[in-house]
Homo-oligomer: A and B are copies of this chain.
Amino acid sequence: MIKVGIVGGTGYTGVELLRLLAAHPAVELTVITSRGEKGVKVSQLFPNLRGRVELAFVEPDDSVLKGCDVVFFATPNGTAMKSVAMLLEAGVKVIDLAADFRLQKADDWEQWYGMPHACPELLAEAVYGLPEVNRDAIRKARLVANPGCYPTAVQLGFLPLLEAEAVNPRSLIADAKSGVSGAGRKAEVGILLCEAGDNFKAYNVLGHRHWPEIRQGLMAVVDGPVDLVFVPHLTPMIRGIHATLYATLTDPDADVQALFERRYATEPFVDVLPPKSHPETRGVRGANQCRLAVHRPQNGKTVVVLSVIDNLVKGAAGQAIQNMNLMFGLPEVTGLEGIALLP
């Protein structure tokens, strides 16, 4: 059994990690830490875990974490980077669900996250945990930077087009819509039911932290410059991301449907829909899946990709476990075959 520790875990990615790991056949949940909630049973915070997870939050303690095989960080940005070196040294693998290791350049990170990076020397080692791109590297990694929710949905949607050079990389637009759980479980007025309910708005149009992360991933693919406009929106639902992607075709005769089907033919968690389809976020609610459809309206020069994920699963906790499976040589789908809850 893989001994698993979770640092943080009072937020929504935390409870989702617990839900999935509690049912994972090769995992033993060993410790979960939270300074603020120490002594509280996780099932008191999250009633869905009552009777299923008996752990209580404990104060962070290096010696306990060092006894784990893998530690997940479900903490605010800037936390994991302070402990990772110590854990790696102790032979513990680390999967960070926050952003500390997602950008390869410390300068970029410091600009977008507004603080100095605590261990820039580890950035080169960290593997960006998008299995559809980095599967082999993840298998060998000690430190995985789990991708952001928007970056997962957007990159999986653009990849087949960019890899095949079917679109102009200077023409990319990602209009993304997120359920409110993407904003976390924080006491903030803007995400109250009475503020975010029955309402729709864009936010951070002039700059969102996921923009450099997405761009870095796409630039690696095209090995050159990428122009990306990324507009995130808040939509009044709990889970789900729907990214609507636009790009200009370079070859008007490209068979984009075939291109997507080929690219993801063997991927266990990416599902390309038949032509003329419209994926729904509820179709992947609670499931580790990205579902894609590709369109070419009026047979014109613009290709439109529709990409949906559950931001807490394929966009966070599920993908983290997918990475863990790879890092420990387990079948990639282990513990991740739950069917989406609908309605």
Contacts and interface: CB of A to CB of B under 8 A. Distances in A.
A210 to B, nearest CB: 13
B173 A302 contact: yes
A188 B187 CA distance: 5
Q: Which of A197, A206, A285, A301 has the most CB of B within 10 A?
A: A197
Contacts of A134: none
Interface string A288-306: 0001000101101110101
A302 B227 CA distance: 10
Given A181-B194, A193-B197, A207 B242 contact: no
Interface residues of A, number: 82
A112 interface: no
A59 interface: no
A61 interface: no
A287 B300 CA distance: 37
Given A48-B282, A193-B196, A205-B304, A181 B343 contact: yes
A265 to B, nearest CB: 13
A16 to B, nearest CB: 9
A187 B189 contact: yes
A197 B238 contact: yes
Given A199-B281, A201-B242, A237-B200, A207 B298 contact: yes
A110 to B, nearest CB: 18
A102 interface: no
B298 A246 contact: no
Interface stretch (A64-72, A216-224, A228-236): A228-236
B302 A229 contact: yes
Given A48-B285, A339-B19, A194 B191 contact: yes
Contact of A233 (B230, B244, B276): B244
A48 B201 CA distance: 14
Contacts of A343: 12, 15, 181, 185, 194-195, 197, 238-239
A192 interface: yes
A28 interface: no
Interface string A18-54: 0100110000000000000000000000111111100
A340 interface: yes
Contacts of A271: 50-51
A115 to B, nearest CB: 22
A280 interface: yes
Contacts of A139: none
A341 interface: yes
Given A193-B236, A300-B229, A206 B276 contact: yes
A185 B189 contact: yes
5 contacts: A186-B189, A201-B281, A202-B306, A206-B297, A235-B236
Interface of A: 12, 15, 19, 22-23, 46-52, 173, 175, 177, 179-181, 185-189, 191-203, 205-207, 227, 229-231, 233, 235-240, 242, 244, 246, 271, 276, 278-287, 291, 295, 297-298, 300-302, 304, 306, 308, 337-343
